[in-house]
Structure 1
Amino acid sequence: MWERVTSILESRGRPVLMGRTILRIEHRGGMVRTVVARNDDGAVEEYAGSQFVSSIPMRELVRLLEPAPPSPVLDAANKLGYRDFISIALMIDRPDLFPDNWIYIHDPSVKVGRIQNFKNWSPDMVPDQTKTCLGLEYFCFEGDGLWTMDDAALIDVARKELAQLGMCPPEAVFDGVVVRQQKAYPVYDDVYQARVQVIRDYLAKSLPNLHVAGRNGMHKYNNQDHSMMTALLVARAIATGSALDPWKVNADAVYHEDIRVGEKDLSGRQVPERLAGVSR
């Protein structure tokens, strides 16, 4: 689908540019004016515009602003946390292993947290129907022992854990690929909403042409379809002046019109709350 979207945009003279690293987001006079980036060849590029939409992790977005925002905004952004993610795709010499699309693993003796069975999402995801491809998913933090382990060692860990779980013998795994995903999960602690609100208020009042969308852009644990819905609402607001608020899309992809000032925002996933009278 997104390849088709890219093709349509390119046919209209709006290419999708990959391989860019954002260096800074320049603003003046209460508006974002330019995004400065470096391409794969090391050349610095500037992109001017009238409206900007960001899916950059909220913490990094605030850090990229130039001039820097007020210190309370920077402080709120710097205290947002993230959980990282490693997916290890194992190719297995078996036509079938289990009927589910994915399964969660609760065995404390292994590190894997979830296993995807790509073939059960679609047979087209595995070109040889006599084989199976499983994605073993590990939740970690960037820089920890799992994250810094080399690919061969990670594939070996995944192979052994699959055998330990009784799914297939190690010798049935004939290949593997490791994908590391930074900031896959925004961390929900008991104060994250207050920190996000500080940043939202600053952007709304000081940089109204800078919009955020998506899981990392909004620091909101939405799935893919919910994240796309927030982006659609942002685009609609820019194009038509629609008043539909992307912040009112919750984790069930339901649009809520009824969150009032001062009320607790129940959109998104909830976090445990500290009991009254219990100190830290």
Structure 2
Amino acid sequence: TLKAGFGYLAAVLHKRPELSLEDFYINRFGRPLYEMFFEDYTEKLWGVHPSQIAPDWGAQRVKGLSLSKAILAVLTKPFKKGRSAKEVETSLIEQFYYPKKGPGQLWEYMAQKITEAGGEIHLNSRVTAIQVKDGQITSLDVAHAGQTEQVHGEVYLSSMPVKDLVLGMGEAVPSEVRQVAAVLPYRDFITVGLLVNKLKIKNQTHLKTVANIVPDCWIYMQEREVKIGRLQIFNNWSPYMVKDVENTVWIGLEYFCTEGDSMWNASDAEFIDFASAELEKVGIVDRADILDSVRIRVKKAYPAYFGSYSEFFKVRDYLDTLSNLYCIGRNGQHKYNNMDHSMLTAIEAVNAIQNHDSDRATLWKVNTEAEYHEEKKS
């Protein structure tokens, strides 16, 4: 504790130039806490050391949080009951709305409203090429069931990875922009779902939970000896997501990887066995208590902030010249947004379309810490 305290005081008195995510964390928490809580987890997530990652990611994900604000929040909590979420630092929010059966309910309802209004949703279809002419997208080549058709539209909203979007436009894109987009970095994602009889870790808090399991929705795994990055406890997100919430626990083991590496290429059975062994190693479950399992892989889950990202402005500037294109969502903007901010980019895009607003700045500013970026410029 003393070491962490003195480390934080040193960071307060001697601010580092914020050239990397490492600088960002040390300035706000001090080196001892950075090394204890942030360094290894961040490297698990991105596959590179925080000293090689742009500080922008910290500004988006950690927001205005620092050690002093975290301590102040704990000390003042008893006197500030009833505060709205807007009055609390994002990273310290303790309550929020969550769909009864998970976020998929949002998209199912949205799909229902689209079809009720006469819209069409084409599933299992892939955009293979994008035609661009005179500063506009004119059509898309869409592959479905072994056939390709050309689709025309007046306005295009894209949530596909920026890399794929730009490369799909082919020679219409300036070579410098294509070169940057072609090597934009991403991290891929694997989750292993385990249904277990019980967890070995106990609820030692005053918080009441169903079956008295630990109250956490997720647990970050800083341990260097395992590759697992985060553990989700779905019972605590919503008890309606678990069939027998009184007697079983549904957990998700999250791994960050790169498509084509050994984790990605392992068979489902091999990887589930590996993940189960890791969770047993850190004392969270006994493998004998595992009732069922599943493994899911997700490509380009995390747009990354290193490599050619430093030149991403060239890609954005070009995309903004296409008058009928609106880039939305996490991958659509190559920005590590949460779901709420990703949805907000779509809302802002619709507002712009309805108001015939050609300025894309509002879309790109969603979840951008203006104060932080002003400090970085000065």
TM-superposition CA deviations, 1:80-136 (whole Å, max 9, x none): 100111000011122665220000011111111100001100001111121111100
TM-superposition CA deviations, 1:223-242 (whole Å, max 9, x none): 11111111111111011235
| Cross-structure match for 2:317 | 201
| Cross-structure match for 1:277 | none
Aligned mate of 2:356, from 241, 256, 263: 241
Q: Distance in 1 between matches of 2:349 and 2:377?
A: 20
Secondary structure of the structure 2 residue equivalent to 1:246: helix
Secondary structure of the structure 1 residue equivalent to 2:326: strand
Identity %: 39
Q: Distance in 1 between matches of 2:270 and 2:366?
A: 40
| Cross-structure match for 2:107 | 2
Structure 2 runs not aligned, ≥5 long: 1-105, 199-210
Matched, 1:121 2:226: no
Matched, 1:23 2:128: yes
| Cross-structure match for 1:218 | 333
Read off the aligned partner of 2:284 and give its amino acid letter. M
Q: Distance in 1 between matches of 2:154 and 2:176?
A: 27
* Bigger fraction of residues in helix: 2
Matched, 1:111 2:227: yes
1:96 and 1:131 in contact (8 A); partners too: no
Count how many residue pairs are aligned between Structure 1 and Structure 2.
Answer: 258
2:190 and 2:264 in contact (8 A); partners too: yes
Query: TM-score, normalised to structure 2's length?
Result: 0.64
Shift of 1:264: 5.0
Aligned mate of 2:163, from 59, 62, 71: 59
TM-superposition CA deviations, 1:48-69 (whole Å, max 9, x none): 1111011111111100014431
Q: Distance in 1 between matches of 2:118 and 2:284?
A: 50
Read off the aligned partner of 1:141 and give its amino acid letter. T
Aligned mate of 1:81, from 179, 185, 194: 185
Query: TM-score, normalised to structure 1's length?
Result: 0.86
Q: Distance in 1 between matches of 2:267 and 2:163?
A: 28
Q: Distance in 2 between matches of 1:104 and 1:90?
A: 17
RMSD: 2.2
Shift of 1:190: 6.8
**Residues 42 and 265 (structure 1), Cα distance of their counterparts in 2 relative to 1, 3 Å cut:** farther
Read off the aligned partner of 1:214 and give its amino acid letter. G
Q: Distance in 2 between matches of 1:99 and 1:204?
A: 45
Q: Distance in 2 between matches of 1:8 and 1:190?
A: 40
Secondary structure of the structure 2 residue equivalent to 1:245: helix
| Cross-structure match for 2:140 | 35
Q: Distance in 2 between matches of 1:114 and 1:89?
A: 12
Secondary structure of the structure 2 residue equivalent to 1:115: strand
2:132 and 2:172 in contact (8 A); partners too: no
Read off the aligned partner of 1:238 and give its amino acid letter. I
Matched, 1:139 2:139: no
Displaced runs of 4 or more, over 4 A: 256-260, 263-266
Shift of 1:175: 1.2
Q: Which has the larger radius of gyration?
A: 2
Secondary structure of the structure 2 residue equivalent to 1:35: strand
Secondary structure of the structure 1 residue equivalent to 2:191: strand
Shift of 1:209: 1.0
Shift of 1:162: 1.4
Read off the aligned partner of 1:143 and give its amino acid letter. G
2:184 and 2:308 in contact (8 A); partners too: no
Aligned mate of 2:303, from 186, 192, 200: 186
1:96 and 1:132 in contact (8 A); partners too: no
2:180 and 2:308 in contact (8 A); partners too: no
Structure 1 runs not aligned, ≥5 long: 267-280
2:184 and 2:307 in contact (8 A); partners too: no
TM-superposition CA deviations, 1:26-60 (whole Å, max 9, x none): 12222111111111x21212221111011111111
1:62 and 1:77 in contact (8 A); partners too: yes
Shift of 1:75: 0.7
Q: Distance in 1 between matches of 2:282 and 2:213?
A: 12
Q: Distance in 2 between matches of 1:257 and 1:166?
A: 42
Shift of 1:171: 0.9
